[in-house]
Chain A
Amino acid sequence: MTVRVDDQSSESGNYEYVTARVRSRRAALFDDDDYRKLVRMEPGGIARFMEESEYETEMNALGARHSGVNLVEYALNRNLAKHFEDLLRWSEGRLYDYIARYLRKFDVWNVKTVIRGLYVDADTSEIEDDLIRAGEFSERLLDRLVNAGSIEEVVDLLSDTIFGDDLAAAYQDYEDTAVLVPLENAVDRAFYEVLLAGLPNQRAADSATGLYVSFLTAEIDFRNLRNALRLARSGADIEPSEYYIEGGRLFDESTIRQLAGNTDQLVQRVRESPYGDDLDEALDTLEEAESLIEFEHALDAALLEYSDRLSNRYPLSVCPVLSYILAKEREVDNIRAIARGREAGLDSDEIEQELVIL
């Protein structure tokens, strides 16, 4: 784990430089027209289109080993990792801390990928391809994780990181039950615990930072909400509090246990919460729609729009960076959805429903 955060968190950070670069990259992302073109292309056409775009380097580097939709997917991941790694490289001081907090979610992804890979005895190279090297872990640590022979070794390697304690505690559970759920829960919980730790209180912070804190809180709330909705929909007999993440302001542990069984009550609860206004449309679609997918897309769109508004209101803050990160994630998700959708033979209208476009 880096020591940079502790050394420099007292410094204020180089907002001007990072914001200028990030805005330029935000403007270079695919727009509506590009998506409209992509949706109508064949899988081969999508690959060719990407070779002539921002993703050229990655497509060429991976072109020899993969093909088709897998090539597109790996290129997307690698490009995402490159850009987010850049963000961490540029930023200093408090700004680095803010960005790293959010980008650690890719560390979570990587740890889970490695553990899952080991669980199903996947090839080293297969695991390596699925990693997204965007988090705070160094190249060396990731390489050692990939080459680890057993899950126990992975837990050992991670003992110095934020995941160390929780993973070590959960390893016993894993050995007893031989399912991955305790380990994955431990990783998630460690991530969300650090997400808000040490940040100024919402009211005490100046406005831009305060809004960033409330964004992270919202992230936790939405995660809880999604988990609760999924539980309610699937009707699975799982103790909801096992998936509960602390730090949100929407639920506490007892309310989530009561509400998890009932979608209507959950929706009612969200409507009355501070998020009610922003999510009105999303909630309406949820009540009408049969599936959760549309609601989750509406959630994503609402979040993206909100972050854009923030980035205009507070130009010299972490908000533009955040808005870029979200937009880039959406772009990667969208292109992946298009490529996968075309491969599966969906028609363009169906694919367009899967996209999150502002």
Chain B
Amino acid sequence: MRLSGTNHRITTMAFAPLQAFIALQEGSTAAAPAIPPLAGAALAVGLAALGAGIAERGIGAAAVGAVAEDDAMFGRGLILTVLPETLVILALVVVFLTL
């Protein structure tokens, strides 16, 4: 009996900061968000471009290798290399949605 009573007290103590935090959050919703919508959209485009760049690194290397062996591969290599750019274009849609 007595043991469980202490337990209960400990849990209330442990949750006290959490409750304060929730209260703090509820108070701040009225203020501006940490990342404004337009900045969020800009971040999305930037991250998408970074991803496209990483993807193109490998494809570009392979394409250059293929072109070095066979000149006729230039067109196909170019197309495949820029395919990940679609990621950036799709990310641009997010910008127009937020505007």
The chain A residues found within 8 Å of chain B, CB to CB, are 14, 16-21, 24-25, 316
Contact = CB atoms under 8 A, between A and B. Distances in A.
A18 B69 contact: no
B56 to A, nearest CB: 11
Interface string B64-99: 111011100100000000000000000000000000
Interface of chain B, main secondary structure: helix
A14 B62 CA distance: 9
A20 B59 CA distance: 10
Contacts of A18: 65
Given A19-B65, A20-B63, 14 more contacts: A14-B61, A16-B58, A17-B61, A18-B65, A19-B62, A20-B64, A20-B66, A21-B65, A21-B68, A21-B69, A24-B66, A24-B69, A24-B70, A316-B58
A14 B61 CA distance: 8
30 contacts: A14-B61, A16-B58, A16-B59, A16-B61, A16-B62, A16-B65, A17-B61, A17-B64, A17-B65, A18-B65, A19-B62, A19-B65, A20-B61, A20-B62, A20-B63, A20-B64, A20-B65, A20-B66, A20-B69, A21-B65, A21-B66, A21-B68, A21-B69, A24-B65, A24-B66, A24-B69, A24-B70, A24-B73, A25-B69, A316-B58
Interface in B12-59: 58-59
A16 B54 CA distance: 13
A14 B60 CA distance: 12
A17 B73 CA distance: 14
Nearest to B70: A24
Interface residues of B, number: 12
Contacts of A17: 61-62, 64-65
Nearest to A18: B65
Nearest to B67: A20
Contacts of B61: 14, 16-17, 20
A24 B63 CA distance: 11
Contacts of B65: 16-21, 24
Contacts of A21: 65-66, 68-69
A117 to B, nearest CB: 36
A249 B69 CA distance: 39
Contacts of A24: 65-66, 69-70, 73
A19 B62 CA distance: 7
A180 to B, nearest CB: 41
